[in-house]
Amino acid sequence: MDEKVVPLPAGAAEVLQGVTTATITTILLKKGLRNVWMRGARPLAADQPRLVGRAFTLRFVPAREDLATPASWSSPISTRAAIEAMPEGVIAVIDAMGIADAGVFGDILCSRMKKRAVAALVTDGVLRDVEGVRKSGLPVWCRGFAAPPSVAGLTFVAWQQPVGCGGVAVFPNDVIVADADGAVVIPAALLDEVLAEAPEQERMEAWIMDEVEKGVPLPGLYPMNAETKARYEAFKKTV
């Protein structure tokens, strides 16, 4: 649990804040990665901005009665200790195994994360204290809400280790992008490639949308045939 968080390259967050998660999944699909969208992690609020940050991972396993107790909240290995280890700007990714009847975090923990300038929380599980979580101002992507605490169904075991969130493998220092379509992971080793390709993908799709608005039929437009590619290349020279 000593994996250090590597700062994002200069300008990376600004680039990715202009790129949808849908576009990122398309780019990664072309590189052979089909499983990067975290199932069950839905935005808590419709107006949450697109957020980008390094993954700071937390891992739960099924509850075991001798370990999953309220006393465990004071353990050196606890969600409380994990929060205090989170640097500014990270996105906390919580592996709750999709369990929907025990809230991994509540209003107090989310408020502390907000105070520590954590960018967001993403989980395939649920939260509790929904009204307080909303008031905390921490952007959240989750499966839903439940009143029982985490120890009712989960045992917290580690942070900054590889996890599986929503059926997706997430490693510390991978990059998370979350928006209205959910949360996706960019493997750390592929970040530079995505940064290089994503703006052009967005520009191309914006041009295609303009063509659709003009009434251009989809065949040959999306995907582009040779003639359409030539028109698009000509367009790029004018901007």
* Domain assignment present for 120: yes
Task: Identify the three-state secondary structure at position 129.
Answer: coil
Q: Give the closest residue to 46 by CA, choosing from 136, 185, 143, 179.
A: 179
pLDDT of residue 3: 81
Pair 168, 205 in one domain: no
* Domain assignment present for 7: no
pLDDT of residue 75: 87
- Read off the pTM: 0.94
* Domain assignment present for 4: no
* Domain assignment present for 2: no
Pair 28, 105 in one domain: yes
pLDDT band, residue 215 (cuts 50/70/90):
very high
Pair 222, 115 in one domain: no
Pair 182, 225 in one domain: no
pLDDT of 120 strictly over 70? yes
pLDDT of 225 strictly over 90? yes
pLDDT of 1 strictly over 80? no
Which of the listed residues 169, 188, 207 is the one where a domain comes to its end? 188
Q: Give the closest residue to 49 by CA, choosing from 4, 16, 83, 73.
A: 16
Alpha carbons 101 and 153: distance in angstroms, whole number: 7
Alpha carbons 54 and 196: distance in angstroms, whole number: 18
pLDDT of 70 strictly over 70? yes
**What's the average model confidence in pLDDT over 131-157?**
97
**What's the average model confidence in pLDDT over 67-76?**
85
Query: Which residues, in sequence order, are bridge partners of residue 43?
Result: 141
Pair 106, 34 in one domain: yes
Q: What is the pLDDT of residues 89-118, one digit of tens each?
A: 999 999 999 999 999 999 999 999 999 999
Domain range enclosing 231: 193-236
Pair 121, 87 in one domain: yes
The more confident residue out of 57 and 65 is 57
Q: Tell me what percent of the residues of the chain surpass a pLDDT of 90.
A: 93
pLDDT of 173 strictly over 70? yes
> Any idea which residue has 């940050």 for tokens?
53
C-alpha of 124 from chain center: 11
Strands (E), the chain: 42-43, 51-62, 91-95, 120-123, 126-127, 140-142, 144-145, 154-159, 163-165, 168-170, 175-179, 182-186
Pair 155, 97 in one domain: yes
pLDDT of residue 222: 95
Query: Is residue 144 left, alpha or beta, with left meaning phi > 0 and alpha meaning psi from -120 to 50?
Result: left
**What's the average model confidence in pLDDT over 58-80?**
90
Pair 231, 179 in one domain: no
> Any idea which residue has 């530079």 for tokens?
192
Q: What is the pLDDT of residues 8-60, one digit of tens each?
A: 999 999 999 999 999 999 999 999 999 999 999 999 999 999 999 999 999 99
